Amino acid sequence: MMRFPRSILAIAAPAILLPTALHAQGDTAPPQVAAPPEMSIPAEAPKPTPRTVPVVLTTSLGAVTIAVEVERAPLTAANFLRYVDEKRLDGTAFYRSFKYDDEQFGGFIQGGTQNDPKRILAPVPHEPTSQTGLSHTDGVISMAQAAPGTATGDFFIMVGDQKGFDATADTPGYAAFARVIGGMDVIRAIWNAPRSPTKGEGIMKGQMLEPQVKIVTARRAPES
């Protein structure tokens, strides 16, 4: 058995025996030993909210405010803001309303330049949702495109969650870049507006709004 020097035992023993010894000598109560302070675990600092730029779309059915994701989708956001700043969306329209056969699944509305050569800019490189972290949920705005890298000045706004538009391992998906933060009732009113049973080509037949809902102006709003 390992033996300890008496000097160590003499120092260690009182820490255990002192209360009993004092009580045996007639003290009214053993000394109170303060409990050690509770260790608090520092809370994880909240992550900063990605910066967005607010834009107001004033339509013939009311105003819609959107938050453009300039931090998470910088290329697509910059493209859209250029259309706004150069007033290329003024006088355009929401021209399409898509609904699933079972409307509980929602759909979307589509608007923008309709490939007007006087309005459109060069196509923007594709930013998939797998890169931006965004998703096609209710009120999210995404770029219309024939193929990745062909998007210009047309966009669509989700009515209901439809994550099938997101990028996957098998598909590049669509480039979400903004979300509605005010006026979703206006979006739904556009979605429910009358459609022509005959206008539209291919899969878009029967989805074209008649009359179209005019986008009167598109302007940046003050950042809070």
- Give the domain ranges of the chain: 53-197+205-220
Residue 59: which of 212, 222, 223, 224 has the closest Cα?
A: 212
**Alpha-carbon span 65 to 187, nearest angstrom:** 10
Query: Is the pLDDT assigned to residue 31 strictly greater than 60?
Result: no
pTM over the 0.75 mark:
yes
Of 41 and 131, the structure prediction assigns the larger pLDDT to 131
What does CATH list as the number for 53-197+205-220?
A: 2.40.100.10
The SS3 assignment for 14 reads helix
Give yes or no for a contact between 194 and 140, defined as CB atoms under 8 angstroms apart. Answer: no
> Residue 116: which residues within 8 A CB-CB, separation 6 or more?
92, 153
pLDDT at 8: 30
In 3D space, the residue among 194, 113, 110 whose CA is nearest the CA of residue 153 turns out to be 113
Tell me 134's DSSP state: -
Q: Which amino acid is present at 148?
A: P
Query: Cα–Cα–Cα angle for 54, 107, 97, nearest 5°?
Result: 85
Q: 19 falls in which pLDDT band (50, 70, 90)?
A: very low
